[in-house]
Structure formats: C-alpha cells, structure tokens
Amino acid sequence: MGRLSPQVHGILDYLTILLLILSPYLFGMQSAASVFTYSLAFIHLALTLLTDFEMGLLRIIPLPVHGAIELLVSILLVVVATAFRFWNDVTSFYFYLVFAGVLFIVWLFSTYNTASAERQKNLLH
C-alpha cells in the first residue's frame, strides 16, 4: 500500500521506541516483561539508527530489509503475547497483542521501496 513515507515511518519508529521505554512504568509490567520491553526498545533503536533512510544515522540496513524485519517482529510479538498470557501476565499479553497489531498496520501502510519513496518525494516538491 505504501502511504507512509520513509520519513514519517522514521518518526513513528522513534515514537515507538519512546513508548517501549515508558511502557513498563505506564502499564505496571512485571519484571520479565519490563526486561523484554527495554530490550525490544534497544533493538528497535538500533534498527532505526542503522536503516538507510532519512531518519537513520549510519544507513547500513536497506529500507526493504527494515520492513521485512518489522513484519517478522509483528508476527513474533503475537507469540510473545501468547507466552505472557500463559504466564498469567494479562497486562503484557494485551500490550503486546495490541502492539503487534499496530506494528503490522504501520508495516502495511509504509513505503519500504526506496525508489518508490523517492518518486513520492519528487511529486511533493
């Protein structure tokens, strides 16, 4: 579909990292969920900083690879959510179930093709 430009996607990535860092405090997550959430925030920060797009710093990871990783993570987070449910951590179950859904929706509407993103950018200017 590709309606979110790479720049907007990058901004959403940084907001996601902030949400992940604040989530254990905001939602009163148990310690295992807190550690997982902080780890996920660090990994997402590394991915964003290393991606080859306007919001990246080192620009090593191609944008389509970034998209593939986010799709895979959105699917795996459903498994993680189920594990938290199994461990009777209902708060983390719902948090990760919703987070997986939102991540999938952002993936669905993002432009991960660099050439397509450049065409979009040129049309706007």
What is the tally of structural domains in the chain? 1
Report if residue 69 sits inside a domain.
yes
CB neighbourhood size of 33 (10 A): 22
Note the pLDDT of residue 110. 96
Q: Which domain, by its residues, includes 119?
A: 6-124
Note the pLDDT of residue 123. 52
Phi, psi of 110 (to 5 degrees): -90, 150
Report if residue 93 sits inside a domain.
yes
Q: Percentage helix, strand, coil, to 5, in the chain? A: 80, 5, 20
Report if residue 1 sits inside a domain.
no
Note the pLDDT of residue 113. 80
- The tens-digit pLDDT sequence of the chain (125 residues) is 569 999 999 999 999 999 999 999 999 999 999 999 999 999 999 999 999 999 999 999 999 999 999 999 999 999 999 999 999 999 999 999 999 999 999 999 999 986 444 545 555 55
The DSSP 8-state label assigned to residue 61 in this structure reads: B
CA dist., res. 85 & res. 22, Å (int):
21
